[in-house]
Amino acid sequence: MTRMLIVGPAGSGKGTQSTRICQALGIVAISTGDIFRANIKGGTELGREAQQYVDAGELVPDSVTNRMVEDRLSWDDAASGFLLDGYPRNLSQVSALDEMLERLDVSLDVVLELTADREELIQRLTKRAEIEGREDDADEDAIRRRLELFDTETAPMIAEYESRGLLRRVDGLGDIDEVTARIMDVLKG
Ligand code: B4P
């Protein structure tokens, strides 16, 4: 059973690789971004709360996000392992997750960081905007804001997991299969 996080800037391949990792390990992928997008599409109350932030590339308020993750972690399918994609995204979410895991009496096995340079990230997001039409990918200001927030909010939380000895860094450049192979090597090791 594996309980893990995948972290990295927008466009680093988190969502793409999560699906593959979860298939290989037989665990469930929980993506905060996907949950927000599904709720926005479905017009739920959570979607209405999140939409303005997601569209602008801002972080959805911690109180909303933490509540949503705690609820999702209580589902039966998460009892046999999970991969959290896109959460936590700042130090305050790390504290909230620590408390959730303590209540569940479980701990994290590994935190996987995907790296890629800014030019590649922007290229990937721009391409996805053409293919999938995600609002936050189509807006240059929103992309810039997401990358900025990664540096100011998310990088310190990654440093926290590094200090706990949980972090494994994987180069996210190259084609999707190559990156998956690198990740699988790291997870086996
Ligand atoms: P996310 O859904 O997490 O969006 P993301 O950072 O862009 O990652 P995603 O997983 O979609 O993309 P990936 O890198 O796989 O968040 C969206 C928004 O939700 C946030 O801005 C925020 O508003 C909100 N949110 C989410 N979590 C939150 C939290 N914890 N707290 C507060 N707010 C939160 O892939 C990008 C593209 O690259 C894809 O098109 C893919 O095909 C391509 N790609 C991947 N790997 C590639 C490779 N090796 N080569 C070429 N292309 C590749």
Determine if ligand 1 sits within 6 Å of the CB of residue 154.
no
Ligand 1: nearest atom to the Cα of 10: 6
pLDDT digits (tens, 9 = 90+) for 103-123: 999 999 999 999 999 999 999
Would you call 145 a catalytic residue per the annotation?
no
- Quick one: what percent of the chain has pLDDT higher than 70? 100
Q: Quick one: which H or E segment has residue 184?
A: helix 176-188
* pTM exceeds cut of 0.90: yes
171 contacts: CB under 8 Å, gap ≥ 6: 115, 116, 179, 182
ipTM computed for the complex: 0.88
Calpha distance 163→165 (Å, rounded): 5
pLDDT at 36: 97
Cis amide leading into 156 (omega within 30) = no
Three-state SS at 123 = helix
pLDDT tens-digit profile of 10-31? Answer: 999 999 999 999 999 999 999 9
Two structure tokens written together for 29: 């992928």
Active-site residue 128, yes or no? yes
Binding residues: 11-16, 32, 37, 58-60, 86-89, 93, 128, 134, 146, 174
Q: Please report, for the chain, the start and end positions of each structural domain, with discontinuous segments joined by +.
A: 3-188
| Ligand 1 closest atom vs CA 87 | 30
Read off the pLDDT of residues 140-152 as tens digits, 9 standing for 90 and up: 999 999 999 999 9
3-188: CATH topology is Rossmann fold (3.40.50)
Choose among 4, 2, 25: nearest CA to 14.
Answer: 4
